[in-house]
Amino acid sequence: MDSETIVDVRGLNHWFGSGDVRKQALFDVNLMLKRGSFTVLMGPSGSGKTTVLTLVGCLRAVQDGSVRLLGSELNGASQAQLVSLRRRLGFIFQAHNLHESLTAVQNVMMGVQVHGQVADRVAQSAAEHALGLVGLTDRTTYLPANLSGGQKQRVAVARALVSSPALVLADEPTAALDKDSASEVVDLLKRLGKARGTTTLLVTHDNRILDRADRILTLEDGRIVKTEVRAQD
Ligand SMILES: Nc1ncnc2c1ncn2[C@@H]1O[C@H](COP(=O)(O)OP(=O)(O)OP(=O)(O)O)[C@@H](O)[C@H]1O
């Protein structure tokens, strides 16, 4: 795998449950993400999108097939290896998952401090910078309760990007947002990702996002049934 390939998934199968209720959720999934690309994974509810994202994100164990992430094979990797790889990723979820008792800047600082011992002063300055990039310079001391849905999700984007992860995994990041906020959040992810060479894999039902993607993969019943490549500026 060359250094431009961030994720390489081959022949990935996955099952949930055991015995009579064992059910196959993924069938022979193959996908490759190149450095700096912005890929959207779409498909109906239950088609397996979140399962793919959680396997690539080291959030569940690979059962069958190969997932190479940043040059490391996840199938058979130890918990310690998975934890250390997970630290190199940024995650954004549908619900922003901010800590309600922490201000915007403190939430983003946590994105720096999960990576180990970083002086508060250094983490704070990185967090303030990241909040500036998402247009929230004047909201750094606000608690989540005093921010709009779009602003909270922008804080979540800042938190995911603050430590310059190689790969950002986003699961339905715009589901709870109105049209304008959704566009803003996706544009930010795309623009900041391109500027920093971050690779993005974004799971969505949201058709409003599709014109931003370099590549759109469609999953149905656990299989990738379509790959569309979009010309980008
Ligand atoms: N923890 C689990 N236990 C049992 N079955 C599961 C589990 N998680 C997912 N599944 C099943 O695996 C299949 C794929 O689910 P997954 O959540 O990946 O789909 P999805 O495309 O992300 O759906 P949605 O858009 O509704 O989030 C579904 O049939 C689902 O019911």
Cα–Cα distance measured from residue 173 to residue 43, given in angstroms and rounded to the nearest whole number: 15
CB 43 within 8 A of CB 220: yes
Q: Which residues of 51-84 are buried (b: 16+ CB within 10 A; e: fewer)?
A: bbbbbbbbeeebeebebbbeeeebeebeeeebee
The predicted model scores a pTM of 0.90
For the segment 68-80, what is each residue's pLDDT rounded down to a tens digit?
A: 999 999 999 999 9
What is the average pLDDT score of the chain? 90
State the DSSP code for 202: E
Give dist(CA 117, CA 222) in Å, integer: 40
Of all protein residues, the one whose alpha carbon is nearest to atom 17 of ligand 1 is 50
Ordered alpha helix ranges (H), the chain: 49-56, 79-86, 104-113, 120-133, 149-161, 179-196
By alpha-carbon position, which residue is closest to atom 12 of ligand 1? 25
Q: Is the ipTM of this complex over 0.90?
A: yes
Which tokens belong to 148?
Answer: 């709009």
Give residue 25's identity as a one-letter amino acid code.
Answer: A
Secondary element (H or E) of residue 217: strand 215-220
What average pLDDT does the segment 57-76 reach?
Answer: 96
pLDDT the model gives residue 233: 53
For residue 178, what pLDDT band results from cuts at 50, 70 and 90? confident
Q: Tell me which residues have their CB closer than 6 angstroms to ligand 1.
A: 16-17, 25, 43, 45-51
Q: Could you report the per-residue pLDDT of 96-134, keeping only the tens digit for each?
A: 689 999 999 999 998 888 767 788 899 999 999 999 988
Binned at pLDDT 50, 70 and 90, residue 218 comes out as very high
Question: Of all atoms in ligand 1, which is nearest to the CA of residue 203?
Answer: 22
Measure CA of the first residue to CA of the last residue in the chain; give whole Å: 27
| Residue owning the nearest CA to atom 3 of ligand 1 | 16
Q: What is the pLDDT of residue 224?
A: 97
Closest by CA position to 58, among listed 32, 25, 77, 82: 82
CB 224 within 8 A of CB 218: yes
**Percent of the chain whose predicted confidence (pLDDT) is above 90:** 61
Rounded Cα gap, residues 85 and 89, in angstroms: 7
